[in-house]
Structure 1
Amino acid sequence: MEVRITTIRSKTLVGKRLVMSLDNNRTVELWQSFMPFKKIIRNKTSNEVISLQDYKGSFNLQNFNSSTEFEKWAAVEVSNTMGIPENFEIFHLAGGSYAVFKHIGDASTFPNTLDHIFRVWLPNSIYTLDNRPHFEVLGDNYKKNDPNSEEEVWIPIKEI
């Protein structure tokens, strides 16, 4: 699996969030509350949507399990926050270094991608996880429930 290391500037996101865990996965509920209103968000920087996981600085591979709670966001990047729709929130994503991977496949194969990132790539790299949000970018090649769907997986990193 190819990886691209990149550094991003801070970003302003607008979207919706829910607290969940893998055991209490509310992803479908989150996206169903977000997607019908995506088109009314003003000042979007692109058509891409962002699925973001905020572990509040507590993501630790050794302690993470299926009941670990995190905040999940469905969002878009905006150039400014004027005219935010009612019931939408702002998230300020700090800049920094990320390892970017391409996931190809539907949601059922996503755990395989994560397993490769965290059990193969990361331990054999010169990086460790940084305490910033993890996110996925769903662009034009993202197709829900399609085996040929593509999305980018962004993992926050810092050199060891």
Structure 2
Amino acid sequence: MSIGTNLGLTNPIIIDYPETKLIGIRQNMSFAQNTTYKLWAGFMPRKREITNATSNERFSLQNYTESFFENFSPIVSFEKWAAVAVNDFESIPDGMETYTIPAGKYAVFHYTGNSKNATEVFRYILAEWLPQFGYSLDTRPHFEILGDKYRNGDDDSEEDIYIPVK
């Protein structure tokens, strides 16, 4: 039985994630002024312009400052990306940018459920799971991989949540 079953989480696996190149768009936002919908609404119609994607999976990536979670405030901004993994940076569509996820250790949680429950899910991972299992956050990007079973706003949606750990 999974420790996060009531939240739709499986027990995580700990992996060494390889360096990964992304192409996409980004915005600065806060949890109080969340513009995720606007970010993805701007990206999805243009995703097909990225001709060197490695798969159909989408990356929802967040870059937080080192002290973001220590002094958490919903009004503090962070950088969020809507992107896809690519083989190289040789062909970058106009208005899009590149980002490289550095290699490192991640706790990977499989989540089944509605994205409206994200606050509870991430609170559990960061405030309960991390300290209980002796991990701490690393200062690398946090991201979710949205595959073919991801359906925004659907209770049966599936995604993988990658939390940088050390």
1:85 aligns with one of 90, 93, 104: 93
Q: CA deviation at 1:118?
A: 1.1
Runs of 4+ in structure 1 deviating by more than 4 angstroms, as ranges, are none
Q: Paired residue for 2:13?
A: 4
Q: Paired residue for 1:106?
A: 114
2:32 aligns with one of 5, 23, 26: 23
Question: Match for 2:134: what amino acid?
Answer: I
- Runs of 5+ unmatched residues, structure 2: 5-10
Q: Give the TM-score of the pair, scaled to structure 1.
A: 0.94
Distance in 1, matches of 2:138 and 2:21, equals 19
Give the SS at the match of 2:126: helix
Q: CA deviation at 1:72?
A: 0.3
CA deviation vs aligned residue, 1:92-112 (integer Å, no higher than 9, x gap): 110100001112111111212
Question: Match for 2:102: what amino acid?
Answer: A
Question: Match for 2:82: what amino acid?
Answer: A
Question: Match for 1:32: what amino acid?
Answer: A
Distance in 2, matches of 1:32 and 1:130, equals 30
Q: Paired residue for 2:81?
A: 73
Distance in 2, matches of 1:58 and 1:35, equals 31
Distance in 2, matches of 1:82 and 1:35, equals 21
Q: CA deviation at 1:57?
A: 3.5
Percentage identity across aligned positions?
43
Distance in 1, matches of 2:67 and 2:164, equals 13
Q: Paired residue for 1:95?
A: 103
1:44 aligns with one of 53, 59, 62: 53
Report the RMSD for the aligned CA atoms in angstroms. Answer: 1.1
Give the SS at the match of 1:23: coil
Distance in 2, matches of 1:23 and 1:145, equals 19
Q: CA deviation at 1:119?
A: 1.7
Is 1:115 the equivalent of 2:98? Answer: no
Question: Match for 2:86: what amino acid?
Answer: V
Q: Which structure: greater strand fraction?
A: 1
Q: Give the TM-score of the pair, scaled to structure 2.
A: 0.91
- Runs of 5+ unmatched residues, structure 1: none
Distance in 2, matches of 1:33 and 1:151, equals 21
Equivalent residues in 2 for 1:46-65 (5 A)?
46-59=55-68, 61-65=69-73
Aligned length: 157
Distance in 1, matches of 2:96 and 2:163, equals 25
Distance in 2, matches of 1:119 and 1:57, equals 16
